[in-house]
Structure 1
Amino acid sequence: MDFSWTEEQNALVEDARRFAREELGGDVVARDAAGTFDRTLWKRAAEYGVLGWAVPKEHGGSGHDLVTAVRLLEALGEGCRDNGLTFGLGAQMWGVQTALLHFGTPEQIERFLPPSLAGDSLTAYCMTEEGSGSDAFGLAATAVREGGEYVLNADKVLITFGPVADAAIVFAKTNPDAGRWGISAFLVDASAPGYTAHPVEAKMGLRTVPFGRVTLEDVRVPADQLLGKEGAGASLFTFSQGWERSLVLAPQLGAMQRQIDECVKFARTRKRAGTSIGKHQAVSHRIADMKLRLETGRLLLYKTAWLQQKGLPNLMEAALTKTYLGECFRDSALAAIAIHGGDGYRTKAGIERDLRDAIGGLIYGGTTDIQRNIVAGLLGL
């Protein structure tokens, strides 16, 4: 593994950081407080090319290799203080687009991918249900074949973009007696009769990306909107979630770098009894630990992306990356608040928001407990 960078790659990264800082700002404090998703910012990111960074050129993307795409997303997270927006972009890239590119027919890709790349269409990834969160394949949703259509009934929860999506990838059982091998995936138009997108649900963090419930009541879906083969839903889910689990936390690395820069600046200028607080080990050691988490997390993420890029097994690395980066961001956010004291606790500074956003990383895409179960199982336990 060689993680050296060309001048061209460095220039791309620097420009991505500049773009995020200058174009993806806005009043994130107000949008976070109101729980508002800014589709203008989404469109702006799409026009810059973010949603196509990892998409092959023949499909309209930039065709960057995965490690380069991950580093660009890291730069995006450093420049953009809106963790909800960067999370949403990653979820769309790794969960939705990956599933479509690897399992979709040419006709499905031609129909659904271009509007996604352009930022004109949002697709929800509908797997989670009230009774099947960590037990993903224990879903109750059904899809019954009737001639040239499937009739879907489902109640999906905690769906990213659920309240505002234009389409959805919906997982349902086509053969309930076959267990996980009886699950299929469908591309469903949100305008279909019987499809209901419920209002945005308030949550602790990541408030600028909408989450919510999606229900389907006797929704008729043409058979040509089956994504992959019938019964291949579990394989599709495992594959696409492997990508998301591996790579979706890349922007958090950038956020961690931003935290360090801001903490160093604050510790140099804030004085206590005439001495910069950075001279006190209680402060300087916290910042040193933040740097340690950043560098080790970066190496683990890049290794996971490199393995994914090479098509090599990385189930262990993906689980470790998801666990480690999620907990590192949480711990660094706590440290940043402690360093800034009262300033860090106040909403207007934007520091406490990182902590609230970080908690989501311990849950979505498979909780850290589930990731540890994966690691333990791979170790033979």
Structure 2
Amino acid sequence: MDFGLSAVQRNRCDRIFEEASARWGGSLASGDPDVTRQDFKLAGKIGLTGLALPTEVGGGGLTALDTALCLEAFGRACPDTGLAFAVAAHLLACAVPVRDFASDQVRDQLLAGLVTGEVIASNAMTEDDAGSDIGNIRVTATPVGDGYVLNGEKSWASNAVIADLIVTYAVTDPKAGFLGLSAFAVPADLPGITLGEPLPKMGLAGCPAGRVHFDNCHVPAEFLLGEEGQGAAIFQHSMAWERACLFGIYLGLMERQLADCVERAGQRRQFGRRIAEFQAVSHRIAVMKQRLEAARLLLYRACWLLDQEEEHVSAVALSKVAVSEAAVANSLDAIQIFGGAGYLAGGAEEQLRDSVPTTLFSGTTEIQRELVARELGL
């Protein structure tokens, strides 16, 4: 068991951290879709939008673990966590299933643009009555002679506002239950697709999310991912990558946050002493460090198991819960350490707002615990 990173891994992460810091180190989320599109292209130049995509199309060809390490460096460098989330969702929930399940024709058509960030992808699964319960999907894809006709609405899709590609899931056989769901990589400019306005959100402002409406949208057959009825399996495959790797962003956020808290505790003086000398403060920071390191080990292990093609469902679920709960708890602690300054917009306050949705997206904490319970035979 080796807990060290290789020189190649360290150098790759250092490069990403330095380049991302130079571009985004002092910036905050704008929420402007045009700015986000420009940022995607810059992320593409750094290599972030194609970390796990094939080298033959310009991608990094990285494993899940190396992808997570790079996203961790990105999250540590970039205070716009919404942008980091947008890039990771594009890569893991969208580009990965195109990589693994698209026809050769569609892979050739899409992957190079996904690598560079010229093509921005949105994952559209959630509906008003189908969040954790994907068996309740109501968007339909009716087979026709040369493809499918999609009808219905997705209620929440990250990047939808600026998307060039929609990776979505629809019912092709209503009688087949779980096996009646199919996956599609749909160009967003097809007739019959309407992308909604940006949804107002608590946090992650740098990721413009919106609704996606399909109105008799004809999708050529080549844009089907995998085979008919494989949609649920394809979705779970993409979620394994997202749950295992995306949360590296929050390891980076917590690393940056911890350093800020240590600096604050060392500089802020009350009652004639540095607040670091008060055990209530120093122990709070020690617990923040404990949460971060425990979450990091679980995340690295989950990614390693995914790379080894070993059983990883429970490990990924445990990792996701550990990182998300640590991010929320550490952000609350950071606000306490910064006091009144922590309540001002930006900094710890923004970190908390960006951390809260970690317990919801990619499968809620309750769903992750259910996966663990099932593996235990409960």
How far did 1:26 drift? Answer: 5.5
Q: Check the 8 A contact 1:70/1:247 in 2, yes or no.
A: yes
How far did 1:261 drift? Answer: 0.5
Distance 2:52 2:188 in 1: 26
Question: Which residue number in structure 2 is paired with residue 357 of structure 1?
Answer: 354
Deviation by residue 1:268-293 (Cα, 9 ceiling, x = unmatched): 01001110000101110110011001
Match of 2:246 among 220, 245, 248: 248
RMSD: 1.4
Q: How does 1:185-204 map to 2 (within 5 A)?
A: 185-204=183-202
Amino acid at match of 1:60: G
Distance 2:271 2:82 in 1: 39
Distance 1:173 1:12 in 2: 41
Q: How does 1:339-358 map to 2 (within 5 A)?
A: 339-348=337-346, 350-358=347-355
Match of 1:46 among 40, 44, 47: 44
Q: Check the 8 A contact 2:183/2:231 in 1, yes or no.
A: yes
Distance 2:77 2:276 in 1: 24
TM-score of the pair, normalised by structure 1: 0.96
Match of 1:272 among 251, 270, 273: 270
Number of residue-to-residue matches in the alignment: 378
Q: Residues 237 and 189 of structure 1: is their aligned pair in 2 closer, same or farther, counting only changes over 3 Å?
A: same
Deviation by residue 1:195-235 (Cα, 9 ceiling, x = unmatched): 10010010101011011100001001111111110111111
Q: How does 1:277-356 map to 2 (within 5 A)?
A: 277-348=275-346, 350-356=347-353
Question: Which residue number in structure 2 is paired with residue 28 of structure 1?
Answer: 28
Distance 2:288 2:279 in 1: 14
Deviation by residue 1:143-178 (Cα, 9 ceiling, x = unmatched): 111211211102101110112211111211110000
Equivalent pairs: percent with the same residue? 38
Deviation by residue 1:306-329 (Cα, 9 ceiling, x = unmatched): 111111110001111111100000
Q: How does 1:68-217 map to 2 (within 5 A)?
A: 68-217=66-215
Distance 2:71 2:207 in 1: 17
Q: Check the 8 A contact 2:170/2:183 in 1, yes or no.
A: yes
Question: Which residue number in structure 2 is paired with residue 2 of structure 1?
Answer: 2
Question: Which residue number in structure 2 is paired with residue 374 of structure 1?
Answer: 371
Match of 1:224 among 201, 217, 222: 222
How far did 1:35 drift? Answer: 8.2
TM-score of the pair, normalised by structure 2: 0.97
Question: Which residue number in structure 2 is paired with residue 13 of structure 1?
Answer: 13
Amino acid at match of 1:183: L
Distance 2:35 2:242 in 1: 21
Distance 1:195 1:16 in 2: 36
Q: Check the 8 A contact 2:265/2:276 in 1, yes or no.
A: yes
Distance 1:242 1:27 in 2: 31
Amino acid at match of 2:132: S
1:64 aligns with 2:62: yes
SS, match of residue 229 in structure 2? coil
Q: Check the 8 A contact 2:27/2:80 in 1, yes or no.
A: no
Q: Check the 8 A contact 1:24/1:41 in 2, yes or no.
A: no
Distance 2:26 2:189 in 1: 31
How far did 1:50 drift? Answer: 1.1
Amino acid at match of 2:165: A
Distance 2:373 2:6 in 1: 38
Q: Residues 3 and 68 of structure 1: is their aligned pair in 2 closer, same or farther, counting only changes over 3 Å?
A: farther
SS, match of residue 219 in structure 1? strand
Amino acid at match of 1:9: Q
Distance 1:193 1:67 in 2: 39
Distance 1:79 1:189 in 2: 32
* Stretches (4+) displaced over 4 A: 34-37
Amino acid at match of 1:279: E
How far did 1:25 drift? Answer: 3.7
How far did 1:23 drift? Answer: 0.9
Distance 2:122 2:154 in 1: 10
Amino acid at match of 1:67: L
Q: Residues 120 and 364 of structure 1: is their aligned pair in 2 closer, same or farther, counting only changes over 3 Å?
A: same
Consecutive unaligned residues of structure 2, counting only runs of 5 or more, are none
Distance 1:153 1:2 in 2: 50
How far did 1:249 drift? Answer: 0.7
SS, match of residue 311 in structure 2? coil
SS, match of residue 196 in structure 1? strand
